[in-house]
A = this chain, B = another copy of it.
Amino acid sequence: MSRKQTLADRCDCEVIHEDIVNQVREKMPQEETLYELADFFKVFGDSTRIRILWALDEAEMCVCDIAALLNMTQSAISHQLWVLKQAKLVRNRKEGKVVYYSLDDEHVRLILDQGLTHIKEV
Interface residue ranges, A against B (CB under 8 Å)? 4, 7-8, 10-17, 20-21, 23-25, 27-29, 33-47, 49-51, 54-55, 58-59, 61-65, 67-69, 71-75, 88, 98, 105, 107, 110-112, 114-119, 122
Contact = CB atoms under 8 A, between A and B. Distances in A.
B34 A65 contact: no
Question: Which of A27, A72, A75, A118 gathers the greatest number of chain B CB atoms within 10 Å?
Answer: A118
Contact of A24 (B4, B20, B59): B59
Contacts of A37: 44, 47, 50, 112, 115-116, 119
Chain A interface mostly helix, strand, loop or mixed?
Answer: helix
Given A54-B29, A114-B110, A118-B105, A34 B10 contact: no
Question: Which of A27, A47, A73 gathers the greatest number of chain B CB atoms within 10 Å?
Answer: A47
Contacts of A16: 62, 64-65, 98
24 contacts: A8-B71, A10-B72, A11-B67, A11-B74, A12-B73, A12-B75, A13-B64, A13-B74, A16-B65, A17-B62, A21-B69, A24-B58, A24-B69, A28-B51, A28-B54, A29-B54, A37-B119, A38-B45, A38-B49, A40-B118, A41-B44, A42-B45, A43-B45, A44-B44
